[in-house]
Structure formats: C-alpha cells, structure tokens
Chains A and B, each alone.
Chain A
Amino acid sequence: MATTKRFPRSSERVEPEAFSERVRSKLGNAAGEVQVRFNQVIVSAEPGRIVDIMSTLKGDPELRCDYFTFLSAVDLQEEGLEVIAAVSSTRFENTVIVKVALPSEDPSLASVTGVYAGANWHERECAEMFGITFEGHPNLVKLYLPEDFEGHPLLKSFKLASRTYKPWPGATEPDEAAGGGRS
C-alpha cells in the first residue's frame, strides 16, 4: 500500500565538499579539475573519458549517481563548444556536473546512452541544436526540428531571424521606459 511518510533528508547525505573529495579520488586521472560551486560538484573532463567517468559516477557504490538530471551544451565561440552533463545521487543527495570541451569544427563525443538510457532525447536535442555527433547513439535523428532543417539554432552564429528583420519593439534600457511605470 502506498504511504505518506515524513522522509527527512537522507541519513547518508554527504556534504558537497566531502562528496567532491570522493569524486576526485574515484575518478582519479580520468577527470581534470574538480571543484564545488553553489553546493554542486563540477568536474572537467577530456572528451575521450566521458563514458568512463559517467560509468564510475553511476556504478561506484560510494558515488551512486543514479539520477540523470540533464545533458546539454554551450557555444563558447572562440573556445569551442562545451558539453554539460549533470547527474545526481538520490542516496547521498549530491549533484555532479561534468563539463567536456569540444572543438567547434566537427564536434563529436561518445554517447552516454549506454550508461544512462535517459540521455537519449537529451543527446538528440543537443545534436540538432549544436551540431554535435554523439557516437554510438541508437537513433540520432532530429527531435524538435523538421527533418530538412538546416543549421544549428543554439550556436551563436545562428541569428534569430525575427530580431534581425525587426528590432526589439520596446525599450531595451530601464531609463528609456516611458513614464517610468511601476517597478
């Protein structure tokens, strides 16, 4: 029978600093810099080690990042692209964000769908929006966009057509707003 229970925070909860130490020691040289920011563990990684890292995060009994939070990317222009993947441990109540730098030319990364099946749609979205090829993805077709869509909308080089055609209709700076209005 289903129940309503108090469910306090997990008794096995680990402070983010301590968890980042675990992450550092378990990942070893697979990971680059490991730091804590806003109570979340940030790991930078080489593209070639992404699957190893995700498998360790999920499978290691002291990490157990069982919850796949999201996977996306950002276009850093001259510095190339960066893929951001976040996973959480429901037992230890911590979130780990893995960041992988990729070149802007022909970016490709091994798919993590073999580790987290839930990465499937996230990678499909990321592929069409940034032009990243996820190798080993079971079905890397477009998710949101039409089949024949050209370009990758979330790249900074992809201009928002409506704004190019017609500038923002309202005031863009707070001082320009007519009459002041209510804050």
Chain B
Amino acid sequence: MAKIPDELTKARVTGAGTLRTEEMILNVGPQHPATHGVLRVIVTLDGERIVEGEPVIGYMHRGHEKLLEQRDFRQITNLLSRMDWLSGINNEIPASIAVEKLMELEVPPRAQYLRVILAEINRILNHLMFTGSFGLELGASTPVMYAFRERELLQEAMEMVTGGRMHFGFIRPGGLKEDVPKGFAERVLKGIRQLIKYIPDYENLLLGNEIFKQRTVDVGILDPELALEYGVSGPILRGSGVPYDVRRTDPYLIYDEFDFDIPVGAKGDAFDRFWVLIQEMRESARIIEQALEGLPPGSHLGQVPKRLTLPEGEIYSRAENPLGELGYYLISNGDAKPYRMKIRTPSFSNVSVAPHLLKGIYVPDMIAILGSMFFVVGDIDR
C-alpha cells in the first residue's frame, strides 16, 4: 500500500479537532400519506446523531369528529371503518357497544361470538402486515412475501363474510349486518392452521436473524412509566413489560370467556415490541379456535328499532385494537346523531412518545424505531 504523505494525515487529525460543527435540520417525509407508515419527522442532526426528532402530523386529517356529528348512528360505522384502515372491524365494535349500552340493546350470543372471531381475524391481518413491513423497513424483503401468503387466506375469509377487504362496515348496533355464510368456519380454520404452521418461519427469518437482532436489540428502549404517562398502549406498551390489555382489564364483548395469554417484553426495545406482535397472532388464533368451537346458533342481530334514537347520556367505550386502546367518548343529547364523539386512537398516543425515543440515537436507528412503533397514519390523524 502506498504510504500516505505525512502532511495529509496530520491535516486530518488536527482538522477533526478544531473544525467547527453545526447542527443540520433534516426533513424526513412526508410522502403520499396513504403510503404505508410514512410520517413526517423533522430531525435536528449533529453529524449522524439525532439531537431532536419531532413528528409533524395532520397530513391525513379528515375531521372525523366533526363529520360524525352530521351522521346518524348507523352511518357512523362506515366512517369509523376508514380511520385505521388495517383494522376496520375493530374500529366499528366499540362504537356499536357505546350505542348498545346507552340504549340498553341486547346483543345475541351468536353476534357476540362472531364479533370476537372477526375482530381477532382482523388483528391477525394487521399484525401480519406489520410483520412484513417491519422486515422491509430493515431491508429484509422476503418475510413480507410469506406474511402476505398467510394473510390472503384470512383476507379471503373476511371478504367471504363482508364482501370487502378493508372497509368492512359490517358491525351494526345490536349485532352484525348479516350472518356468516356456509363454509366460513372451515375457511377460517384453514387460514389460522396455516398461520400457526408458518409462524416459526417468521421467527427464524427475523427474530433469529443476527442482522435483524443487531438492528433491533437494545434499540429504542421505551421506559414503561414514560409509556404509561403518554398513554402508549397495545404491543408497544406490552413490549415494555406492562400487561395492559383492554380485553383483560376492562373486558368487553365476551373476551372474559376465552383462555388466552398476554405476551410481554422484558426490555422494551424494538426487538421486544416485534416479538410481542408475533406472539399475539398465536393468542388470536387460540381465541378464534375457541370461539368457532363454541359458536352458538341463533340470530346475528338483536331487536333494533328502525330509527336509532339514543337517550341523553355519555359513555366512554373502549376496545383493544390491534395497535392499542381505541376509545370513543360519546355524548348523546337525545338526537339521532352523536352530539359529540371524541375518538381516542392508539396510534396518536403511541407516536406522541416518539420524540423521547429519537433523542440521541443514530439516523439508521430512527427507521428501526419508527417501524417498531406500528402506527397507521390515518389512525393518528383521524
């Protein structure tokens, strides 16, 4: 190797010590907001280190809360389905529960069971999407292919029931729009059996992968107390070791009848969050199997008046969405429309803690951290 002249190396050494550095502000995003997981973040950089990272939201703000005040209680279902477009059914459920509780409507057992089954299928669909996309964000392009192979079977089952693939609009106050068609149970069982069979593949491809570990272990550690103070929920909070799950702490539908476990992380890093996400699919599959086994015959819709007029009252109705706690604070003044409906979405609270996680890290870690926050922009902005 040619010898480097002395003056050149000297210049480099002295230069690094006396060079005046200044912070640079880098704008990340936004791309088209409907693209998966794009968030605008303004980062202040000192070299490759992030001094400060501040998410800028609102590019997808559609004014759901205002629009809901213009629609009656049956119409809001279809609007809410579009909020977090990966979990349509889950968005619809707590809204119907709020109406049912205020009106004291009876929901038949079959509808309760089917709601659980559809909600858990939707949870798996959501988790499979993030399983694939998190791999992509870290440069692994194979897992997404596997994830979509399993996803398609369950997606077809949903399509068979609701006719839709994303915005289902299937939950009605008092029950469901329709009963499930013949052959639904077999189709779902086929889907979840294939999923259970291949989950070890995802674990080997990602969780057991040395490169994946180096990108995620000890990266973006979220302190459980800080997470709670920000109202972080779902797999992100459980990744930090807090076993908070609305299905357990404030059971709705008939979740207290099923046997399932709550996976929690130990350290609260990106790896743990992703680990929790994968394990939750197993638990959802367990719930679906139990619910299909116990599915009672009967009506899919209770006695519901043609015109839904709610009595005066207020209720905070919540559910465990795939991404965390979704809640509706519904205020009714006795009209056919909500007087006010505050939407508390999981992604909003989850992403609000991001500035803490982005402080002092290196730029490539930002992608691993934001990817492991599992958010949907439509769910942040509403």
Residues of A within 8 A of B (CB): 1-10, 37-40, 66-70, 72, 74-75, 84, 86, 90, 93, 95, 97, 116-118, 120-121, 129, 143-145, 153-154, 158, 160, 163, 168, 172-175, 182-183
Q: Are B63 and A37 in touch, CB under 8 angstroms? A: no
- Is B229 an interface residue when CB atoms closer than 8 A count as contact? yes
Name the residue of chain A whose CB is nearest to the CB of B231. A68
A70 touches B228 (CB 8 A): no
B209 close to A (CB within 8 Å): no
B262 touches A6 (CB 8 A): yes
A157→B340 CA distance, assembly (Å): 14
Measured between beta carbons, the chain A residues less than 8 angstroms from B315 are 37-38
| Interchain CA distance A172-B352 in the complex, whole Å | 38
B231 touches A69 (CB 8 A): yes
Q: How far is the CA of A112 from the CA of B265 in the complex (A)?
A: 30
Which chain A residue shows the least CB distance to B262? A7
Smallest CB gap from A68: residue in B = B231
B108 on interface, CB distance cutoff 8 Å: no
Collect the chain A residues with CB atoms within 8 Å of residue B340's CB: 74-75, 154
**B contacts with A: majority SS:** mixed
Interface residues of B in 231-268 (CB under 8 A from A): 231-233, 239, 242-245, 248-250, 261-267
- Sample of 12 more A-B contacts, CB < 8 Å, known A39-B250, A84-B342, A95-B250: A3-B266, A6-B262, A66-B228, A67-B231, A68-B230, A74-B339, A93-B250, A95-B316, A145-B58, A154-B65, A174-B306, A183-B301
- Taken together as a complex, chains A and B put the C-alpha atoms of A66 and B325 apart, in Å, by 15
User: CA–CA, A124 to B230, complex, Å?
Assistant: 14
Contact A9 B229 (CB under 8 A): no
Chain B residues near A9 (CB-CB < 8 A): 248-249
Q: How far is the CB of B288 from chain A (nearest CB, A)?
A: 17
Cβ contact within 8 Å between A90 and B307 = no
- Pick from B58, B63, B65, B342 the residue with the most CB of A within 10 Å: B342
Residues in B whose Cβ lies below 8 Å from that of A117: 226, 229-230
Cross-chain contact of B266 among A1, A118, A144 (Cβ < 8 A): A1
Q: Which 3 A-B pairs have the closest CB atoms?
A: A118-B230, A144-B58, A70-B344
Per the bound structure, the CA–CA distance linking A38 and B101 in Å amounts to 8
The closest CB in chain A to the CB of B71 belongs to A168
**A8 CA / B314 CA spacing, docked (Å):** 29
Q: Is B348 an interface residue (CB 8 A)?
A: yes
Which residues of B lie under 8 Å from residue A90 when comparing CB positions?
228, 242, 244, 249
For residue B279, which residues in chain A have a CB less than 8 angstroms away from its CB? 4
Known A70-B327, A143-B58: A5·B261 in contact at CB below 8 Å: yes
Which residue of A is nearest B67, CB measured? A160
- Does B272 sit within 8 A of A, measured CB to CB? yes
- Report A-chain residues with C-beta under 8 Å of the C-beta of B228: 66-68, 90
Kindly state the separation between the CA atoms of A114 and B302 in the bound complex, as whole angstroms. Answer: 47
Q: Which of A4, A70, A154 is within 8 Å of B261, CB to CB?
A: A4
Q: Which of B250, B266, B352 contacts A2 (CB 8 A)?
A: B266
Cβ of A121: which chain B residues have Cβ within 8 Å of it? 348-349, 352
Q: A2-B263, A118-B353 are in contact. Are A8 and B248 (CB under 8 A)?
A: yes
Q: Which chain B residues border A8 with CB–CB below 8 Å?
A: 248
